[in-house]
Amino acid sequence: MPVSRRSLPPLNALRAFEVAGRRLNFRAASEELGVTQGAVAQQVRLLEDHVGTALFQRLPRGVALTPQGAAYLAHVTRAFDTLGDATTQLLARPDAVTISVTPTFATKLLIPQLPALNSALPGVELRTIATETVSDFDRDQVDIAVRLIRPPFPGSVETHLLFRQELVAVASPHLIGKAVLPLSTEQLGDLPLLHDAHDHWPKFFGTTGKLPGAVFNQTTHALDAAMAGQGVALACRAFVQADLDAGRLLQLRPAGFEARADYYLARKRATASRKMVDAVWNWCIANWSY
């Protein structure tokens, strides 16, 4: 026969039992709960009286669970985990979507299109994380990520190719002057080179040696330097297309080789989808797939 909810043990007693059973030490349990060791012992005795059986064996040093206590602890722990998950879902904003993108993607593609995204999805609160680090969707609480990656992908992750990493050499019109495009490899070698963290220049020139030029930890900084006329950058076409169209940069020539990774949209596969996450996912595909 199911136990009436009114006859369930007090919550404080269950909490004290769960922590003490997990730590197998009343002193450690008291420190975790922020109460005295005597208070933990009192709550455990109260619970034992309530259920009519011993849950712990009192030992000279610490305690041990009885068989009944061990079985009960598994159920109590599962119940607290369920409560924790339910509370997390309750506190989470259903209209908030967290997207993790690379810093260059954020600067060159996401930020310029935020007004369009907000107009298309006015109910979405978009939270952006700009990082090169591969996201752990659960640990980092990320809904969607854009990453420079390559197959194969784990079965737990859903992916969609946004665009290939087509590399092109670009520079300011002021640096190039009246030179006829496209430039040859030799002509490019006479210009100052701008390196980013990916550093594709050695492959471009077919060398393993170190090449001269300013070094930046992010592609967007190398592109800023290129627009300032400080040298030539090698970057993905998707990130420079707007600057090429506006005349702020010139394409000197294609890289002439295929990069080893491309830009993918990724998210954790889930049995239950969130409407707002699906909406942002579909918007990204519609606006950033090339």
> By residue range, what is the domain housing residue 71?
5-91
Which of 91, 122, 146 is the C-terminal boundary of a domain? 91
Q: Do 153 and 173 share a domain, yes or no?
A: no
pTM of the predicted model, to two decimals? Answer: 0.67
- Segment 40-65 mean pLDDT: 91
Contact of 236 with 243, CB cutoff 8 Å: no
Do 66 and 111 fall into the same domain? no
Residue 260 has pLDDT above 80, yes or no: yes
Beta-carbon contacts of 90 under 8 Å, excluding residues fewer than 6 positions away, are: none
For residue 75, how far is the Cα from the chain centroid? 33
- Give the C-alpha separation, 138 to 180, whole Å: 52
Instruction: Check pLDDT > 70 for residue 121.
Output: yes
Q: pLDDT per residue over 67-79, tens digit each?
A: 999 999 999 999 9
CB 82 within 8 A of CB 126: no
Say whether pLDDT at 90 is over 80.
no
Same domain, 156 and 275: yes
Please give the full DSSP string across 201-219, using - where no structure is assigned: HHHHHT--S---SEE-SSH
Return d(Cα 240, Cα 246) in angstroms, integer: 10
Same domain, 10 and 146: no
106 and 216 part of one domain: no
The verdict on 180 and 137 lying in the same domain is no
- Provide the CATH number for the domain around residue 277: 3.40.190.10
16 and 32: one domain? yes
174 and 32, same structural domain? no
For residue 221 the two structure tokens come to 């900084």
Do 201 and 87 lie in one domain? The reply is: no
Encode 49-89 in three state secondary structure.
Answer: HHHCCCCEEECCCCEEECHHHHHHHHHHHHHHHHHHHHHHH
Q: Is 97 helix (H, G, I), strand (E, B) or coil?
A: strand
Overall number of domains in the chain: 3
Summarize the confidence of residues 93-106 as an average pLDDT.
88
Q: Domain check: are 28 and 54 in the same one?
A: yes
Measured in whole angstroms, the distance separating CA 88 from the mean position of its chain's CA atoms is 18
Across the strands, what pairs with 38? none
pLDDT of residue 3: 53
Burial 106-137 (b: 16+ CB within 10 A, else e): bbbbbeeeeeebeeebeebebeeebeeeebeb
Per-residue pLDDT, averaged over 45-60, amounts to 92
What DSSP designation does 6 have?
G
Residue 179's CB: how many other CB atoms inside 10 A? 13
Please give the span between the terminal C-alpha atoms of the chain, in angstroms, as a whole number. Answer: 62
| Tokens encoding 105 | 């993607």
**Residue 149 and residue 271 in one domain:** yes
> CB 20: neighbour CB atoms within 10 A?
30
